[in-house]
Structure 1
Amino acid sequence: MTSEITSPATNTELLRAAFATFNTGDVDKCMAFTAHDLIMNLAELPEPRHGQQVWREGYEMMRNAFPDLRAHIEDIVAAGDRVALRLRFRGTHRGEFLGIPPTGHAIEYVSYEFYRVADGLIAEEWICSDMATLFRQLG
């Protein structure tokens, strides 16, 4: 089975659309942009995580903690099947986040994210978010 190859411009538009949908808070529509066997590589975890359900759980955890969370694309570059983004996330801490009770504080942090697109879907992601800045804002 071979993967459908899409252009860097098409892949860029896929990621723009995915983050526009992310910002609406509609998790089901977000899932439509991801491959069933999505691979997630998070800088703070030693091993990749796998599957749409795991992605959904992470999304819902963030959305519950920061219900108004928005991702702003500051840079986007694509080559081949890869898309790199520099994102700025902003929101308000209104729910528990990793054991930290809601503070009501506004948060803002940067994330460097890389994606691999296959068959018109996000197949793999590498996420390196500035979690130190996020946690400082919750203190």
Structure 2
Amino acid sequence: MLATNTASQENIALMRDAFAALTRRDLAAAAEFLSPDFIINLAGVPHQMRGRRIWRRNLEAFFNAFPDIQIETQDMFAADDKVAVRLRFTGTHTGEFLGNQPTGKRVDYQSYELYRIADGKIAEEWICSDMLTILTQIGAFPARHLMLMWLAGYRVWFAAGVGLLAGVISTLMLSSIAA
């Protein structure tokens, strides 16, 4: 158990150092923490991406879109060869992002990330960022559409609630008339 705990703590230290380099915008130093055959898994992307070059290209595009982005590590824990990280990103949309022209709008969103460590390097990542929030905040996805999506998902429950309420009211009215 002690060896596993030590390995977990070493993996957390590795990730903290990697995120420190990333926060400094030192992509060369951050890339050194990655294995040469690094695997990238992004939620919503149907295929894996591979390699430091692709990773760096993705980060450069992100930092160009949000040059003042702040990265706050909110939680980090490890078990065996995995490290889970919950991050908060805040910044301003001043560059092109996923085909959306700069808006000057602020973003504040969460990302949930899982990393696999192998041979002292970050070998794989699974990223699940709150893209819907980012796209809504920069105006690429209008908030009214988000509300309509939310309501559409609950229309069955809403209809059932209205029906139940109508039934209760009808029962009470009939009960008072009969009494």
Pick the TM interval, shorter chain.
over 0.9
Q: Could you tell me which amino acid in structure 2 is paired with residue 132 of structure 1?
A: L
For the pair 1:93 / 2:105, whether they are aligned, the reply is no
Q: Which residue of 1 aligns with 2:28?
A: 28
User: Counterpart in 1 of 2:144?
Assistant: none
Q: Which residue in 1 is equivalent to 2:56? A: 56
Which residue in the other structure is 2:153 paired with? none
Q: Deviations over 1:4-51 (max 9, x none)?
A: x97000100111111111111111111111111000110110111111
The answer to whether 1:67 aligns with 2:67 is yes
Q: Give 1 or 2 for the bigger CA radius of gyration.
A: 2
Secondary structure at the residue paired with 1:19?
A: helix
Letter paired with 1:114:
L
CA distance, structure 1, for counterparts of residue 18 and residue 68 of structure 2: 17
Q: For 1:69 and 1:123, how far apart are their aligned partners in 2?
A: 25
Structure-2-length-normalised TM-score: 0.73
What is the TM-score when the length of structure 1 is the normalising length? 0.93
SS of residue matched to 2:89: strand
Unpaired stretches in structure 2, ≥5 consecutive residues: 140-179
The SS at the match of 1:7 is: helix
Counterpart in the other structure of 2:82: 82
Alignment RMSD (CA, Å): 1.3
Which residue number corresponds to residue 120 of structure 1?
A: 120
More strand by share: 1
Q: Which has the higher helix share?
A: 2
Percent identical among aligned pairs is 50
Amino acid at match of 1:43: A
The equivalent residue for 2:171 is: none
Amino acid at match of 1:27: L
Deviation (angstroms), 1:70: 2.2
Equivalent in the alignment of 1:16: 16
AA of the residue aligned to 1:37? D
Asked whether the 8 Å contact 1:22–1:70 carries over to 2, the reply is no
What SS does the corresponding residue of 1:76 show, helix, strand or coil?
A: strand
Greater relative contact order, per chain length (Cα 8 Å cut-off, separation 6+): 1
Equivalent in the alignment of 1:110? 110
